[in-house]
Amino acid sequence: MLSPNNLDSDMSNALTQKKLLDNPSYYLNRELSWIRFNGRVLEEARDLWHPLLERVKFIAICGSNLDEFFMTRMARLIKKVKSGSEEKSTDGMSFMEQIDATRKEMVPLIENHAKCWREELVPALAKEGIHIGNFEDLPEKHKDTLRDFLKTSIVPSIRVPKVGFDSVSIENLHVTLYISGFQNQPSFCILLDVPTEKFGRLISTPEKGHIDGEKEAHFVLLEDLIINNLDTLFPTEKNLTAYPFRLTRNGEIDILMDESADFLQTVQKSLSTRKVGFPTRLEFDKKMPDALRQVIAKKVGLPEYLTYEFDGPLGLVDFWQLLKIDRPDLKDKSFFPCISPLVISENNIFETISKQDFVLYHPYDGFDVIIDFLREAAIDSDVSEICITMYRMDHKSPIVDALIEAAQNGKKVTAIVELKAKFDEENNILLVAKLRSGGVNTVYNFPKFKVHAKLCLITRKEKDGTARYSHIGSGNYNAVTAKIYGDIGYLTANPEVGLELEDLFNAIINGVQEKETKHLLVAPKTLKSEILRRIDREISFHQKTGRGYLAFKLNNLEEKEIIQALYKASMAGIKIDLNVRGLCCLRPGIPGVSDTISVISIVGRFLEHARIYYFHDDVEGEVLIGSSDMMFRNLNERIEVLLSVPDPTLRKAILENMLKISLRDNVKARKLLPDGTYERVAVKDGEEVMNSQVWLIKNRGIWNERDH
């Protein structure tokens, strides 16, 4: 028994350790870590290992991510500054200090972004017969053709906002005309909205040609076409000059609850605020004169530290359009995903799953298994009920079609739709309408939290009673993203898992208290405390055996208590391997605190999206998979689920053929250094070269192989 003196000593040591681990220098800034992640995305655009159009894809992704940063993260920082908040980030910075620090990181990233496009991708595209030229350089007959197209099709769609700069819409490309003496008035600006959504950013020119048997593609930028033909808009004016610019606004929506209103209508009404959110960034063409920049910045009310110049076309996210070009030689080689013969056996899918569990790793395993799972449920006369969560769905979803078919066949079908999925709110409002019209019961009234868990439960009447078939994963039920996201899912007829999932669905749908669970870790109630408990358990195991080990694969690591628990494990001598794709606030390599922790990030052909948590504290160890990252929002503000994998054979397969493979990557992996920067993982002498995604393509499906 502990004596009072021992108890006091333990408490004192714990307080001393907590004070030590609260040191701001032990944490990396969230915003800076996220920007550096986009630096790694940009590295992929510069990597000659990728086919050319895939490199264009990465430069577009980088542009999209930077847009989202200013729409969300920068918007929150600006709000905090305006409110006078004196809070500090985990690493000890004020909100204004974070804005200054992000600018210092952002400026060189933007310069490299523009340089990669201008000096690397444009010349490489031209060599492959994909030309993005200037209107002024075209032959006169081609200019005439494009002018006619501009007059008849584009000009009628160009909007001149009546309210001026206050009505500049979010993330559109705009052209500002500087006009001297327009209609006998002093010099002033006229704003034009460029209709990129309707016509695309790249306008095909009439020029034709062939290169190596392929048709050449010739384009001019839409804004270039407009700027060089301003007389089509203002035929009586002369000496017109114009420059493109781009404005980013706050993309966060404030959902104001009205007790009497339907939550769907509340979200729909709140979306209108996004289009007129406060400005967060101005992007200028490098050629725009300073005087004109100052006029625009003053009109939109942005300080200089929120303005950026770009030496090249603004809005590189629009160049996704180039991926539509039919040039398979410039894209990744396709492969056939594995569809396990154990799943497509002569028996129906339920009989097969009833005999053993399966783990699916998309896109290496085909998503058709999940589609067939629901399609078969829709027509199986023994299936009585289907429950599923929906976060981001594809527009022509076979999953949605299967659910509607099931409802029309008399089955009870319930879809939990998250209306607040960021930037998918409008799509999900339409999804609710489609599901409802098809007879599916839709549940969406969650104003205080997001349902981010990826869950499906099918209830079936069988000769031995009611059987429950569960699918728990990390990815959305989206047939499009399943081809490009690396996501893990688990299929099981385990009755304990099925009952726990049924209770959880009832809790979400009916708002009842969750029951105790053995296999499921559920946020916000138990997931965080259970992760902390498992880390403490690993420390105890290591103190007894010296064999403790932790390995996590996730998107983001930010939650302070989780980081502190990992520091404690490292201080106890436990080796910890982390594969954190995106932002990571844990600082590895701190002497005596985190020097046994290694962190890598992998950005490759597929978006690393799986979450796997391994604890080596007994003979078989424990593996958790599911939807949750280790972030404050995941653990405290969302319904998230991790499954403790019940099948020991699959636990080992996940560990050996998924988690450890990613940790061995020395081609795409970047190692996080103590100062928060990343460097390539070097191939050691005698070490096998390992590109984890290439390995997974070559070895797809082996995780479900068993000796019979």
Catalytic residue ranges: 452
Sign of the torsion angle spanned by Cα atoms 81, 84, 86, 87: negative
Cβ–Cβ under 8 Å, residues 611 and 642: yes
Cβ atoms within 10 A of the Cβ of 706, count? 11
Cβ atoms within 10 A of the Cβ of 231, count? 12
**Exposure of 544 by Cβ count < 10 A (0-12 exposed, 13-18 middle, 19+ buried)?**
exposed
Q: How many whole angstroms separate alpha carbon 108 and alpha carbon 378?
A: 53
Q: Which residues of 482-495 are buried (b: 16+ CB within 10 A; e: fewer)?
A: beebbbbbbbbbbe
Cβ–Cβ under 8 Å, residues 459 and 384: yes
Tell me the two tokens of residue 268: 């729909």
486 three-class SS: strand
Tell me the two tokens of residue 395: 């527009």
User: Shortest CA distance to 150 belongs to which of 241, 234, 238, 225?
Assistant: 225
Intra-chain end-to-end CA distance of the chain, in Å: 51
Strand 454-462 and strand 465-473: the pairing is: antiparallel
Q: How many whole angstroms separate alpha carbon 10 and alpha carbon 2?
A: 10
Q: How far is CA 617 from its chain centroid?
A: 32
Q: Which residues contact 139 (CB under 8 A, 6 or more apart)?
A: 207
Cβ–Cβ under 8 Å, residues 81 and 99: yes
